[in-house]
Amino acid sequence: MSGYLESQLIIFCLSTVYAYGVFLPAASGQLNLGAAGFVTLGAYASSWFNAQVGLNLPVAVSIPLSMAFTGAISFLISFPILRTRGVYMVLATFAFAEVVSGLAINMEFLGGAAGMPVEGYISVAVIVPVTFAVILFCFYLMSTRLGLAFRSIHDDESVATLFGVDVRTAKVAAFTLGGMLMGLGGALYGHQYNFIEAQTFNVLLSIYILLYVLLGGTQTAWGPIVGAAFFTIVPEAFRQLANAMDWKWLADSRFIFFGAFIVLMMVFRPEGVVTRTFIDRCKGVLTGRGRARPAGDAAP
Amino acid sequence: MDFLLLQQLINGLMLGGVYVMVAVAFTLIIGMLNFLNFTIPALFMFAAVLMWATMTGNLPFGNEALEALFGNANLWIAGIVVSLVVTALISLVVERFTYRYMKAKYGDATEHALPLVSSLGFLIIFEHTVISAWGSDPLQITSPFGNATFTIGKILFSWPQIISLGLSLGIVALLSYIIKSTRLGRALRSIAERPDTATLMGVEVLRIVPVVYVITGLLCAVSGILFTINYTTIDAYVGDTVATVAIAGMVLGGLGNVWGAIVGGLLVGVLEVLSIYIVGADFVKVPIWGLLLLTLVLRPTGLFGHSRIGKGKF
């Protein structure tokens, strides 16, 4: 595999892992705009557990340990954060990410603003299977009773409560598992690039991860992978096209088209690219049993 | 009191004046339409960059015409006019895509994350428009007012900053009067209460909402222009930096409350400058965002807000 393709594959895998971390809370109706904070936690925790000045553990131990650490933090903050709703929850997760990044910059033993070199290295041969495992886990999770609970809370929280779903437990579970996945993504990032600095995990990263999920669709577990693939492949495709045709204007302005696409997408397909009806239709076409369900999924 | 500390307090209040207007813009959209509008940082940045481009003759066209019309020395007036006009027009386009089409198609545009995501799309569009036109390096102007300062005792004041603080407080006071005492303000408050009922009561929602967008767009533009004049250096990401702090100020004051946004905006301005002065520039994020997180968890309504906003909506 060429170096270019490999680097793109790694970016795609990391984006997918982050996206599933935001997807789990989003599937149960909570918007998390603080992805960068959890990624920062995972990256710094794993690199510190792994470093000689830290705990000096092998990578195979430090990554799961950093997942546990990020999961524990997510679990603890999920209680105050889940007290908030809607706009307040977006703001609270956003503020959490800023606090984490502010603290990381000010901790001298983590390298401070200069960043932190990471010792242990993992290659693409580890990242791809791990990503695959994450995807399988999320598909499995969405097919269990807990996944059904997430879906019901996403669609209508009061009705879910009336039907005996333990809304609070399900939400805390979604938030904590999501935090763990983002921590895993951060740890993979650190050990792949061997250098982390808090400034890389900024507001724009949080925004992009949330966009992967919302554009891909929160109704099924296909959403994040489609969204992440789209966000990785389309700008690169634009760039390749610009290089091939020698269109300098396109190389400079590809993100403008991309932003315009996001806006139009919200007008024409607000539930994301992949919806439940879409999946049903695909199945119908594949098995030759015609249209499974009438249209009408677009309206909430 | 130590006069250096007093000087920092004054500087903080001046910086707060910029945050106040952005925070008020955020709070108006949240109060009326119940979503966090990420085009606000984009409009702030775009107005600031247009100001720079007009003053340094970097507009894609019309530089000579503006110079002939306003004269070389008064290009800053041309900059203000261009920024305000363009921002107002952009606000109308943004309104179409974040509110009107969604409402026409899905009944209630404020449900779900649709406007939030569209506004993030606009943020990407505008930042990359600026980057592809003028690059992502810092852009600088020379202040048209030179070094206009005066001192009271040992405290240094700069005229443009004093004027901007006064201007921003004046504009916000006017806005608050409009909301409280005019026919337009009554319509705005009824939409904030319940859009469907407002329609039934004869409020023309589809004509009022664009007005809200233009008002918030102009607020951002004015504060972007003042920021450019006062601090003379901007870049394509200046909107993100300013708006995130303004969001903190808005939440401290209470969502959907104009006077809360003023107090909150001034408070974060002072807090930012003081924490740079006392602990250093790297530490500045922790007090502001820690305070915000605490506010959200302990008293989500902020200092002056009311509790009905954000219930189950994005």
Confidence at residue B110, expressed as pLDDT on a 0 to 100 scale:
45
Q: Is the dihedral of CA B5, B8, B13, B19 positive or negative?
A: negative
Confidence at residue A16, expressed as pLDDT on a 0 to 100 scale:
95
Strands B155-158 and B149-152: antiparallel
The chain-wide mean pLDDT, for chain B, equals 83
B281 reaches A (C-beta below 8 A) = no
Please give the backbone phi and psi of residue A117, each rounded to the nearest 5 degrees, phi first. Answer: -75, 140
Mean pLDDT of A60-64: 91
Confidence at residue B305, expressed as pLDDT on a 0 to 100 scale:
66
C-alpha Rg value of chain A to the nearest Å: 20
Contacts of B292 in chain A (CB under 8 A): 91, 95, 98
Residues A37/A97, Cβ–Cβ less than 8 Å: yes
Could you say which of B129, B283, B285 has the minimum Cβ distance to residue A98? B285
Residues forming a β-bridge with A100: none
Q: For residue B124, give the amino acid letter.
A: I
Put simply, whether the predicted model's pTM sits higher than 0.80 gets the answer yes
Among B34, B79, B47, residue whose Cα is nearest residue B242 = B47
SS (H, E, C) chain A: CCHHHHHHHHHHHHHHHHHHHHHHHHHCCCCCCCHHHHHHHHHHHHHHHHCCCCCCCCHHHHHHHHHHHHHHHHHHHHHHHHCCCHHHHHHHHHHHHHHHHHHHHHCHHHCHHHCEECCCCCCHHHHHHHHHHHHHHHHHHHHCHHHHHHHHHHHCHHHHHHCCCCHHHHHHHHHHHHHHHHHHHHHHHHHHHCEECHHHCCHHHHHHHHHHHHHHCCCCCHHHHHHHHHHHHHHHHHHHHHHHHCCHHHHHHHHHHHHHHHHHHHHHCCCCCCCHHHHHHHHHHHHCCCCCCCCCCCCC
Contacts of A96 in chain B (CB under 8 A): 293
Mean pLDDT of A124-136: 93
Contacts of B313 in chain A (CB under 8 A): 86-87
Give whichever of A21-25, A77-81, A246-250, B306-310 has the largest mean pLDDT. A21-25
B124/A259 Cβ within 8 A: yes
- In degrees, rounded to 5, the angle at the alpha carbon of residue B138 between the alpha carbons of residues B135 and B140 is 115
- In degrees, rounded to 5, the angle at the alpha carbon of residue A202 between the alpha carbons of residues A197 and A206 is 130
Confidence at residue A145, expressed as pLDDT on a 0 to 100 scale:
92
Which 8-state DSSP code applies to residue B147? Answer: T
Q: How far is B295 from chain A (nearest CA, A)?
A: 9
Q: Which of B282, B285, B307 to mutate to test the interface with A (most CBs of A within 10 A)?
A: B285
- Chain A stretch 157-186, residues whose beta carbon is closer than 8 A to a beta carbon of chain B: 157
Is ipTM beyond 0.85?
A: no
- pLDDT confidence tier of residue A299, bands split at 50, 70 and 90: very low
Confidence at residue A290, expressed as pLDDT on a 0 to 100 scale:
53
pLDDT higher for B285 or B38? B38
B104 reaches A (C-beta below 8 A) = no
Torsion of CA A141, A143, A144, A146, to 10 degrees: 70
The pLDDT tens digits for A75-114 are 999 988 888 777 778 888 988 898 898 888 888 778 777 8
- pLDDT confidence tier of residue B313, bands split at 50, 70 and 90: very low
The pLDDT tens digits for B189-210 are 888 877 778 888 888 888 888 9
B100 reaches A (C-beta below 8 A) = no
Q: Which of A22, A85, A91 to mutate to test the interface with B (most CBs of B within 10 A)?
A: A91
Please give the backbone phi and psi of residue B131, each rounded to the nearest 5 degrees, phi first. Answer: -65, -40
- Burial code (b: 16+ CB inside 10 Å, e: under 16) for B14-40 equals bbbbbbbbbbbbbbbbbbbbbbbbbbb
Confidence at residue A272, expressed as pLDDT on a 0 to 100 scale:
78
B248/A262 Cβ within 8 A: no
User: Is the predicted pLDDT of residue A296 greater than 60, yes or no?
Assistant: no
The pLDDT tens digits for B6-62 are 888 888 888 888 899 999 999 888 888 777 888 999 999 999 999 999 888 888 877
- pLDDT confidence tier of residue A41, bands split at 50, 70 and 90: very high
Q: Which two tokens stand for residue A25?
A: 């809370």
The pLDDT tens digits for B80-128 are 999 999 999 999 999 988 887 767 666 544 455 778 888 889 998 998 8
Could you say which of A31, A106, A300 has the minimum Cβ distance to residue B282? A106
Confidence at residue A10, expressed as pLDDT on a 0 to 100 scale:
92
